[in-house]
Homo-oligomer: A and B are copies of this chain.
Amino acid sequence: MTPAARFPIGVFDSGIGGLTVMRALMQRMPQESILYFGDTARVPYGVKSVETIAHYATQITEFLLARQVKLLIVACNTMAAVAVQAIRDLSPVPVLDVIEAGARVAARTTRSKQVGVIGTLATVASGAYQRAIHAHEASVTVRSQACPLFVPLVEEGWLEHPVTRLTAQEYLAPLLAERIDTLVLGCTHYPLLKPLLGEVVGPAVTLVDSAETVAGETEALLAARDLAHHGEARHEFFVTDVPQRFQRIGELFLGRALEPVHVVQW
């Protein structure tokens, strides 16, 4: 174990969605310390311009690097889609992101070579999943669909609600018509909709949950670089605002209480 192994992993997102990634990390590696940063004052990023998103991403990266993390995880599809290069350029430590992780698994999973990707407007408009999947497997056709209502539906807690089902049927119909056999959940809120989405797409379509896949990549990378930690873990949460329903929604995502929470005033 190298000295840096005891440093925490830095996980960041535009809001609380990245807590699904943190949850997957904690389940797989309970001994790893994690600092979570959620830019709750400026969420959602999904509808903002590329310049604004890149500016915010840089600010958060500098914040976490100053706290000596051993690894950065971009747990926000929107930032991974439009700002991951800026983050890598800044960072002396390895950077993993949900898009690269999801794309690799999707390219490996599909048999029909028809992959669907769902995400926010900004993620879909960026074409980032398409590029990342093609880098692994050029013969795959990628069909993308923005689903702007899924985030507010999850935050309303309507995970199994008829409204959510009807919305999912409407969004996914064009993808199903193209006979996809793999669907990438390209937004960290979407793992909470996995049971419902599984019913809507049916058993012939495999769902790729990038929270799970990035946790798997993290474990492999830490082992390969002798950076895995084996002592007691600490978990801390940094947010730029404590919004309405923060604890309730946070627990929905993380599966346990969020504490300690530090508010960063920018």
**Chain A contact residues, CB within 8 Å of chain B:** 40-42, 46-49, 52, 121-122, 125, 148-149, 151-153, 155-156, 162-163, 166-167, 170, 241-245
Q: Are A245 and B166 CB-contacts (below 8 A) given A149-B153, A152-B152?
A: no
As for how many copies of this chain the complex holds, the number is: 2
Most interface-central of A152, A162, A166 (chain B CB within 10 A): A152
A244: which B residues are within 8 A, CB to CB?
46-49, 121-122, 125
Question: What residue in chain B is nearest A47 (Cβ atoms)?
Answer: B243
Do the beta carbons of A49 and B242 come within 8 Å of each other?
Answer: yes
A151: which B residues are within 8 A, CB to CB?
152
Q: Which 7 pairs of residues, A with B, have the shortest CB-CB distance? A: A47-B243, A152-B152, A121-B244, A47-B244, A52-B241, A163-B166, A163-B167
Q: In whole angstroms, what is the CA distance A49 to B263 when docked? A: 12
A49: which B residues are within 8 A, CB to CB?
241-244
Most interface-central of A166, A167, A170, A245 (chain B CB within 10 A): A167
User: Closest CB of chain B to A128's CB: distance in Å?
Assistant: 15
User: A152 is contacted by which of B42, B148, B241 (Cβ under 8 Å)?
Assistant: B148
User: Closest CB of chain B to A161's CB: distance in Å?
Assistant: 8
Q: In whole angstroms, what is the CA distance A48 to B167 when docked? A: 26
